[in-house]
Amino acid sequence: MPKTISRWKRTVMRKAQILTAIIALCAVSTAAMAQDTVAEEAAHRAELLAHLPADAAQRVFGGETTPAPGPAEAIGSYERGCLEGAAELPADGPNWQVMRPSRNRAWGHPALIRFIEQLAAKMPAAAGWPGLLIGDIAQPRGGPMLTGHGSHQIGLDADIWLTPMPDRRLSPSERDEMSATEVVAADRLHVDPGVWNPSYLKMYRAVASAPQVARIFVNPAIKRELCREAGADRAWLAKIRPWWGHDYHFHMRMACPPGEPLCHDQVPPPAGDGCGKELAWWFTPEALHPPPSHAKPLLVSNLPHACLAVAEAPSKTAVRNGAR
């Protein structure tokens, strides 16, 4: 009997690892795409649009340019859903600047947008950073994106650059063209000692300590460094989750806002700091060199039913003008 259980356990673990590996290429290409300039992004979008089925959710939601009116509601799960009543993060605030503005992905659940503004304001005191450079949040109506992300679909995920906000305002073309800071060394096993400094731990700890934050995805080399430097205060490390890519930016995931029954939270991360065996797997050949993925694109019918109405809702401006 114990043998059967351990064989079953091994099979389950193996299946989980294969599943993780299947989505790996997506994650790896996501990392590259996060840095794409305007021309590269446009080329990727055109290439995808030429091949995607007409009812692909990426095509439908990727073509939306305005939010769906109505009260804010996150519908579905982080990697299969959409967003009603989105708010847009202004391109500039006292402690933030929106990057890649031409992508029109600075939309999110109003609770996330407010939270980003508050979090950015804490950065000077918490980490000595003047503020945050904000990457992709979500499309105006959420849903899957044409390029770059498996999640970010319900307006509760945001990518934040690993470059502290500079003391000056970046020009629109700098925001669309400049690259973020690579903090992982070329061996992919360590952080780059020429780039990494103590402010990174302070920044990650400040973000992870916020109760609204459910998870933060980071490169495994970054997680390992945070584990090494954290000291006795380690509870916040549970939310720091290793994932492929995330070497130029990190991904902050907010929990579902209270009172939104259609929003599906992810199961909480396992207890403990996640610095042991679980982290070691990320440095095995299997994790470092994942096989390619052949995932099929999601169709609108694969999303929660309510997302069809979100996709089809007239925009606020159109309602005001009495037209679609």
Query: Which residues contribute to the site for Zn ion (CB under 5 A)?
Result: 159, 251
Q: How far is the CB of 245 from Zn ion (least distance, A)?
A: 9
Min CB(246)–Zn ion separation in Å: 8
Q: Which residue is nearest to Zn ion (CB)?
A: 251
Return all residues near 125 (Cβ < 8 A) that are at least 6 apart: none
Of 224 and 241, which has the nearer Cβ to Zn ion?
241
> In the complex, what is the shortest distance from the CB of residue 315 to Zn ion, in angstroms, rounded to a whole number?
26
What is d(CA 31, CA 29) in angstroms, rounded to the nearest whole number?
A: 5
For 324, other C-beta atoms within 10 Å of its C-beta total 9
Please report, as a single letter, which amino acid is at residue 182: E
Q: Do 69 and 85 form a contact (C-beta atoms < 8 A)?
A: yes
Nearer to Zn ion, 141 or 246 (CB): 246
Q: Which of 241/251 has CB closer to Zn ion?
A: 251
Do 192 and 185 form a contact (C-beta atoms < 8 A)?
yes
Report in angstroms how near the CB of residue 88 gets to Zn ion at its nearest.
18
**Residue among 77 and 286 whose Cβ is closer to Zn ion:** 77
Nearest to Zn ion of 159, 260 (CB atom):
159
Nearer to Zn ion, 124 or 150 (CB): 150
CA 267 to chain centre: 17
